[in-house]
Amino acid sequence: MSVGLVLVSHSRDLAEGLREVLEGLPGAGVPLAVAAGGPDGELGTSALAIAGAVESLGAGGGVVILADLGSGVLSAETALEQLDPSLRDRVHLADAPFVEGAVAAVRAAAAGADVSAVLAAAEATRGVRKLG
């Protein structure tokens, strides 16, 4: 089973745009879920929505959560506390840049990496420089 990714953002447009990029990567096909924005389209994050996104993926091969900003991380941590322990054990919150981490995670998951390797790939992008 493939590792799934949950994209947590304060903006639904931002998360959906990232999902579009990820789905366009060669060999992608990785299960993706979005938990972004408030219920009326306002900016924000919701622990309940994040937990629901994780549950929608089933976590068969594990799930990596990537969040855009600090309060998204707090919402994700709250969501993890709400999950059934048998599911929670297969879900990991990445300490990684939102876009670069998601791209690295999708590439690793698409190559068949396990959840630990997908998490490591996402977190390895923390030091990636874009300019020499």
92 is catalytic: no
DSSP letters along the chain, please? -PPEEEEEES-HHHHHHHHHHHHTSTT----EEEEES-TTS-S---HHHHHHHHHHHTTSS-EEEEESSHHHHHHHHHHHHHS-HHHHTTEEE--S-HHHHHHHHHHHHHTT--HHHHHHHHHGGGG--S--
Give the span between the Cα atoms of 2 and 4, in whole angstroms.
6
Catalytic site residue from 5, 8, 10, 79: 10
Q: Which residues are catalytic?
A: 10
